[in-house]
Structure 1
Amino acid sequence: MTAQGKIKHTARTARGKVKEIVGRAVGNKRMVRRGKTERVTARIRHTAEKGVAALRHRGKAAKGRTQEIVGSATENNHMTMRAKLSKASARISEKLNK
């Protein structure tokens, strides 16, 4: 997930919370509902994007493992080293995503 996506979802969550608070302050139930809906929707989208990013990183790691095995079997050092780099990159990206 990109930093831009995190900012976008955080802003939407905050905007929903503000609507909810203002709605309560003025006694507007419709605004309270809309704010709560907006806040929950932003959290759901954020969670979904995190899941997609995690799957993407796991796919890269699996590809790296496969390349490493093939490189070792064929004694191709270049492929093995590239695969190790790919695995490490995927692990780092996954940790940063959390």
Structure 2
Amino acid sequence: MLTIGFALFLSPIGVILDVIPFLGSMARMGTGIIAFVLAILVGTVTIAIAWFWYRPLLAVAILATGVIAAVIVYRIGRLRRPAVPVVAPNPAAAA
């Protein structure tokens, strides 16, 4: 249900980019992936909070799973960013 909710929340992005057909399709795929990841992260936290009173060890295990998933998503995101090379200014070219 969280995935559906997040997908519906992000669906205007695909509609706006549907002016160019392949951009709309790519945006829908991307927002679907984002919705799934957000649902996993929010869902694990919500379930862990709900279980905390009755089964605290289970709640901690679920919360740890959510934190591990968040760290994996963060690291995948950091690996996919291209490194921007820093170019030092050449004083000979300015003269």
What's the TM-score, normalizing by structure 1?
0.44
With structure 2 as the length reference, what TM-score do the two structures score? Answer: 0.45
Answer 1 or 2: which has greater helix percent.
1
Between 1 and 2, higher relative CO (CA 8 Å, sep ≥ 6) is seen in: 1
